[in-house]
């Protein structure tokens, strides 16, 4: 700063006021100081300044799988909001692993981020309480933790699973298979619960042979179709608990010579952007992904500014997007 002041012919205090915007400086002097900064290649140490003020203008975000388009679209909503608040975003991928998640929790806390967003990771109540003891603001996304006093944004996954199954039942399907997500992830468990409830309400017993655990990736959807087709009779419809598994299922069915939906109707969940470009376009549950990210980040900034706010739970609506991957069974 002394070099800049000498180069611009002003006092060090004037340079400080220009950098920190702490006192009005004439346009003429401001331009001289900024010109000298550019010529000398001077870059203010904003991190040090932020630490002195107790804020780093940085938000941490931990997702279960950064390769999953659902998380990417939620993160875009978060990033749009953080950018609008003049904050940076640090994105961490936990792979749904609690140890890896805890590692990132500690690293983000060490970096003194202003707050953390969890997106449907294996986040536990213990993690939340540990952060709250550090007075670090937290918002949980796509996961309802009613026993923990924490801000959360989520959708009604039970209703979504019910709507999907109800749609297939209305088309005339009775043998409806289901590929679940990881058993320890509550969104998946709730979607499966909705699937089971819809079958029960229709007077149909759940055939446990038609319920297979997946991992929310293409491969598990692909492998599920291979396994389902070994059973006799096989299913006429398949509910995959996310779009990636549904896309894997379409690929497997096509490779095996089946026509979707004539031979096998397939439904996904999330309505990622790719869902409308599959062949055929995928029937799925639409989640307001960008809105989820925007709302979660907004709640986090409110929590940062007002730490004593009561916990807030925001439930967003989902809807069924009917496209060309579902149709009545051909043997009905």
Q: What is the pTM of this model?
A: 0.82
pLDDT of residue 28: 86
The answer to whether residue 69 is domain-embedded is yes
pLDDT of residue 120: 61
pLDDT of residue 94: 86
Q: pLDDT, tens digit, for every residue of 294-308? A: 999 999 999 999 999
Low-confidence spans in the chain with pLDDT less than 50: none
CA-nearest of 229, 227, 273 to 247 is 273
Query: Domain with 305 in it: what CATH number?
Result: 3.40.50.2300
What sign for the dihedral angle of Cα 162, 219, 329, 326? positive
pLDDT of residue 103: 87
**Residue 153 contacts residue 318 (beta carbons within 8 Å):** no
Query: Domain with 34 in it: what CATH number?
Result: 1.10.260.40
137 and 167, same domain (yes or no): no
Task: Locate all alpha helices (DSSP H) within the chain, ordered by sequence.
Answer: 2-8, 12-20, 27-40, 46-53, 69-84, 98-110, 125-133, 157-170, 186-201, 218-228, 243-255, 289-305
Q: pLDDT, tens digit, for every residue of 229-250? A: 887 888 999 999 999 999 999 9
pLDDT of residue 155: 94
The answer to whether residue 50 is domain-embedded is no
**DSSP assignment, residue 44?**
-
- How far, in Å, CA of 65 to CA of 97, rounded? 10
pLDDT of residue 187: 86
Cis status, amide bond into 253, omega within 30 of 0 = no
pLDDT of residue 38: 84
The answer to whether residue 208 is domain-embedded is yes
pLDDT of residue 99: 81
Query: How many structural domains are present in the chain?
Result: 3
146 and 164, same domain (yes or no): no
Range of the domain at 232: 157-286
pLDDT of residue 154: 93
pLDDT of residue 121: 56
φ, ψ (nearest 5 deg) of residue 189: -60, -40
- How far, in Å, CA of 62 to CA of 91, rounded? 6
80 and 147, same domain (yes or no): yes
pLDDT of residue 49: 54
For residue 330, what are the CA distances in angstroms to 1, 199, 326? Answer: 78, 20, 11
168 and 268, same domain (yes or no): yes
190 and 224, same domain (yes or no): yes
CA-nearest of 165, 115, 163 to 140 is 115
- How far, in Å, CA of 276 to CA of 153, rounded? 25
The answer to whether residue 323 is domain-embedded is no
């Amino acid at each position: 700063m002394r070099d800049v002041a000498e180069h611009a012919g002003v006092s060090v205090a004037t340079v400080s006021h220009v950098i920190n915007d702490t006192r009005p400086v004439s346009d003429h002097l401001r331009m001289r100081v900024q010109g000298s900064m550019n010529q000398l290649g001077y870059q203010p140490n904003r991190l040090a300044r932020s630490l002195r003020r107790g804020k780093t203008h940085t938000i941490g975000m931990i997702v279960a799988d950064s390769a999953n388009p659902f998380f990417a679209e939620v993160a875009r909503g978060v990033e749009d909001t953080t950018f609008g608040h003049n904050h940076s975003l640090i994105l961490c991928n936990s792979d749904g692993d609690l140890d890896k998640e805890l590692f990132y929790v500690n690293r983000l806390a060490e970096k003194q981020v202003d707050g953390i967003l969890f997106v449907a990771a294996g986040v536990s109540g213990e993690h939340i309480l540990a952060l709250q003891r550090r007075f670090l603001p937290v918002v949980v996304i796509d996961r309802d933790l009613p026993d923990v006093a924490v801000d959360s944004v989520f959708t009604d996954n039970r209703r979504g699973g019910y709507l999907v199954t109800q749609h297939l039942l209305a088309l005339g399907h009775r043998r409806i298979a289901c590929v679940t997500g990881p058993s320890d992830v509550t969104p998946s468990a709730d979607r499966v619960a909705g699937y089971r409830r819809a079958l029960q309400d229709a007077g149909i017993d759940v055939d446990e042979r038609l319920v297979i655990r997946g991992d929310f990736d293409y491969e598990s959807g692909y492998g599920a179709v291979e396994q389902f087709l070994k059973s006799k009779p096989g299913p006429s419809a398949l509910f995959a608990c996310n779009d990636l598994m549904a896309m894997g299922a379409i690929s497997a069915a096509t490779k095996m010579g089946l026509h979707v939906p004539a031979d096998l109707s397939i439904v996904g969940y999330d309505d990622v952007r790719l869902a409308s470009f599959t062949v055929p376009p995928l029937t799925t549950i639409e989640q307001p992904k960008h809105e989820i990210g925007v709302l979660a980040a907004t709640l986090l900034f409110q929590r940062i500014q007002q730490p004593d706010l009561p916990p807030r739970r925001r439930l967003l609506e989902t809807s069924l997007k009917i496209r060309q991957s579902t149709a009545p069974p051909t043997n009905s």
